[in-house]
Structure 1
Amino acid sequence: MTVRVILACGAMLLASGAVAQTATHTGAHNPAVKASAAAHVTAPASGANSFSEDQARGRLTKAGYRSISRLAKDKDGVWRGTGTRGGKTVHLGLDYKGNVSSR
């Protein structure tokens, strides 16, 4: 009888661990690893930006913008400048997350 109780308790412990691992998360998700491709957002996020000017320029170039000029970090930590894409000159922003915005 004691062996059966111990086996039953062990089975319940193993089953409860499996259920806990199958939980799914909904809503906003912050991945552990940022994709190398720059995401395009409508408005850049404010925050301490650790990108150097060369890194910011490279990120904007990788996002498809050319002739990037007047690149400077503003008071919100967003790199701002101008660039061209598809023959149009646009105002650019690059936030601390690496997201690109244009208008």
Structure 2
Amino acid sequence: MRALLPSLIVLTLAAGPALAQNATPASPGSGTMTNSSNGAVNGSGNAGSNVNASGTVNVLAMTALEKGANSFTEGQAKSRISSAGFTDVSDLKKDDQGIWRGTATRGGKQEQIGFDYKGNIGAQ
């Protein structure tokens, strides 16, 4: 009986951290996670994302873009801007504030566009 009590304590303590985990890999080595409320992990976007409830992208004023360390590559920024309805996305360059800036066409009109570290798209 004396050996049983310490064994139960050890098993209980060892099981605690395993039960606290809620994100599991989608497939080994894929790097994607499931069952997470973190938008950056589950692919639903970032906190502060500009995707509205209907699933379409809100295009903000250029002044609403936020400066910060932007980890999006040029290709990722171009893809996100294109999926928001812009065509002919070109001349993308990351400025000293971390905002990708360039030009694109929307509704037949060429516009200056920006893409910040949160995934927000701005146009004017």
Same fold (TM over 0.5): yes
Q: What is the CA RMSD across the aligned residues, in angstroms?
A: 1.7
Deviates most, 31-40 or 73-82: 31-40
Q: Is residue 97 from structure 1 mapped to residue 118 from structure 2 by the alignment?
A: yes
The residue aligned with 1:15 is none
> Counterpart of 2:101?
80
- TM-score, normalization by structure 1: 0.65
- Alignment of 1:70 with 2:76, yes or no, is no
Partner of 1:40: 59
Q: 1:61 aligns with which of 70, 76, 82?
A: 82
Q: Using the alignment, how far apart are the partners of 2:120 and 2:74 within structure 1?
A: 15
8 Å Cα contact 1:39/1:98 also seen in 2: no
Figure out how many residues of one structure are paired with residues of the other and give that number. Answer: 73
* Pairwise CA distance, 1:33: 1.8
TM-score computed with the length of structure 2 as normaliser? 0.54
| Rounded Cα–Cα distance in structure 2 between residues aligned with 1:33 and 1:51 | 15
Unaligned regions of 5+ residues in structure 2, if any?
A: 1-36, 46-50, 52-56
1:41–1:32 Cα change, 3 Å: farther
Identity of aligned residues (%): 44
The answer to whether the 8 Å contact 1:94/1:101 transfers is: yes
Q: Which has the larger radius of gyration?
A: 1
* Structure 1 runs not aligned, ≥5 long: 1-30
